[in-house]
Amino acid sequence: MEKSILIAVGGNSLIRAGQRGTSAEQQSNARLTAERIAELALLYRKLIVTHGNGPQVGAQLLRSEIGSGQTYTIPLDVCVAMTQGEIGFSLLSALQSVLAKKGIHRPVVSLLTLVVVDKNDPAFLKPTKPVGPFYSKKTAEHKRSQLGWSIIEDAARGYRRVVASPLPIDILELQTIRECLEREIILIAAGGGGIPVVCEGSEIQGIEAVIDKDRASALLASKLGIEHFFISTEVPEVYMNYRRPDQKPIRNATLKEMQQMLAANYFADGSMKPKIEAAIDFLSAGGKTVTITDPDHMIESLHGSAGTVIVRS
């Protein structure tokens, strides 16, 4: 099989620390991301890009709430679809420009992607994923009673809505994605973990949830038979006991070693743990290599001089 890679870009890569997240800032950051992806286009014939959307979904929910007195409100699954289009456009236009400048003649496509979840997933009984803005206690209680939201308290910042984060079980556009890769089309897909849907017979229905981007990316890579799963994050490498006095970098590891470290609780919930779980999913399903690093060390990590590299055996 030809060399193939799926790169999962973090949603925060388009809105950097200290930025307001303006369209101009996101376009500029998309250009930097595109520069690095273009280098991968020289190395891999089959290249697929997924991305996060946390800050962008939060902004869409806030716009919907503020404008609710004058226009229709937007459910979470539709917000995910909207941000797939928004971020897909930013990455698509930036990547097309960079490829043309470098003389690389490969088409790029951004695809709205529906990811199937189980409506009986236990995650729906205990929502844990924070979304949207922070509220005062009074406003949060009103939202809880009027809209049936699940609410958690962040002692430092206020109260926030939480939603379910079910496991992805299938990807409806899989065959279309496969055909694009066979034609060596660079594909942007499964943004934000995919638009969450449930299927009953021939009926497809969106559902309010947030699918973990890296778990959905691992599923997509596995189903496509991708060899290399690349997770772009905020740190240059994975650490055991991150930000503790005994933190230790992990440069190279096997699937079995990562499974042992995960079982020993060396990785924090909501931080590196979901990425390690996604890496384990991918390698357990037959993938060859997982690389985890930040955008600045992307190319170096492919040559073994940076990042964390995890192999099946």
Question: Which residues participate in catalysis according to the annotation?
Answer: 11-12, 129, 213, 275
* Strand boundaries in the chain, DSSP class E: 4-9, 46-51, 108-110, 114-116, 129-135, 150-154, 158-163, 170-171, 186-188, 195-200, 203-206, 228-232, 238-240, 248-250, 252-254, 289-293, 308-311
**Tokens in use for 208?**
């309010």
Q: What span, in angstroms and rounded, lies between the C-alpha atoms of 111 and 14?
A: 19
Report the first-to-last Cα separation within the chain, whole angstroms.
19
Q: Is 182 exposed, middle or buried (0-12, 13-18, 19+ CB in 10 A)?
A: exposed
Nearest one of 122, 120, 124, 145 to 135, comparing CA atoms? 145
Q: Tokens 């990042």 — which residue?
A: 307
- Residue 200's CB is within 10 A of a number of other CB atoms, namely 8
Q: What span, in angstroms and rounded, lies between the C-alpha atoms of 135 and 139?
A: 6
300 and 239 Cβ atoms separated by less than 8 Å: no
